[in-house]
């Protein structure tokens, strides 16, 4: 099969060819042109031009984007297309957006928007954290200064305290979900991924 033109996108799974405006294969749900930059250059929901893919996890892929009007960088997380028909996965994905968007705290990643594209892609737009996870920092530096560790613990506890005050329990706190960013020499913390967080009822609040 010949390569697709710049105005076309090809499914890396089945080889089907679509117009440039299509994001997901209609046959198998695969993200089109995944091996050649995937969504880079496309505009999501008429307001998020995709700049580059910056990561992926068990539930989806994450892209760097910039709001077309606000010129604000953000991270766009897409639910893997093969999970779009999984009611539990979709519910968890939207729960992450709903829970995180309710928490207004400097140590919790901010969620700006979430929804579905015209091609059925489920996305979440959130604050772009230019840094590294605590997991990667630990892998790089097996030993860290005590004052840095104390600062990370304090900031993480503050974030969780704000969530708990709203009746939200993270339930998946781990080094991969604690992002570290450099703020003029000081390390800031952003807690991410409230996908399996549990919102407690009022009677459960302490």
Contact criterion met (CB below 8 Å) for 31 and 10: no
Token representation of residue 187:
């390390």
Burial 13-31 (b: 16+ CB within 10 A, else e): eeebbbeeebbbbeeebbb
Is there a contact between 159 and 108 (Cβ–Cβ < 8 Å)? yes
Report helix, strand or coil for 51: strand
> Are 30 and 11 within 8 A, CB to CB?
yes
Q: Which of 28, 82, 141, 172 is catalytic?
A: 172
Please confirm, yes or no, whether 172 is among the known catalytic residues: yes
Q: Point out which residues pair with 169 in neighbouring strands.
A: 198
Q: Would you name the residues annotated as active-site residues? A: 172
């Amino acid at each position: 099969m010949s390569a697709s033109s710049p105005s076309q996108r090809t499914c890396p799974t089945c080889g089907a060819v679509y117009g440039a405006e299509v994001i997901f294969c209609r046959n198998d749900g695969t993200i089109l042109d995944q091996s050649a930059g995937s969504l880079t250059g496309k505009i999501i929901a008429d307001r998020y031009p995709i700049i580059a893919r910056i990561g992926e996890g068990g539930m989806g892929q994450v892209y760097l984007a910039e709001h077309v009007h606000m010129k604000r960088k953000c991270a766009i997380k897409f639910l893997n297309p093969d999970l779009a028909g999984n009611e539990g996965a979709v519910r968890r994905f939207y729960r992450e957006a709903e829970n995180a968007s309710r928490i207004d705290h400097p140590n919790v990643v901010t969620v700006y928007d979430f929804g579905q594209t015209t091609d059925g892609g489920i996305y979440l737009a959130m604050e772009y954290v230019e840094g590294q996870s605590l997991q990667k920092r630990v892998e790089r530096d097996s030993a860290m200064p005590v004052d840095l560790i104390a600062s990370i613990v304090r900031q993480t506890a503050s974030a969780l305290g704000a969530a708990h005050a709203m009746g939200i329990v993270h339930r998946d706190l781990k080094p991969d979900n604690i992002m570290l960013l450099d703020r003029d020499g000081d390390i800031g913390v952003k807690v991410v991924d409230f996908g399996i967080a549990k919102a407690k009822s009022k009677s459960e609040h302490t």
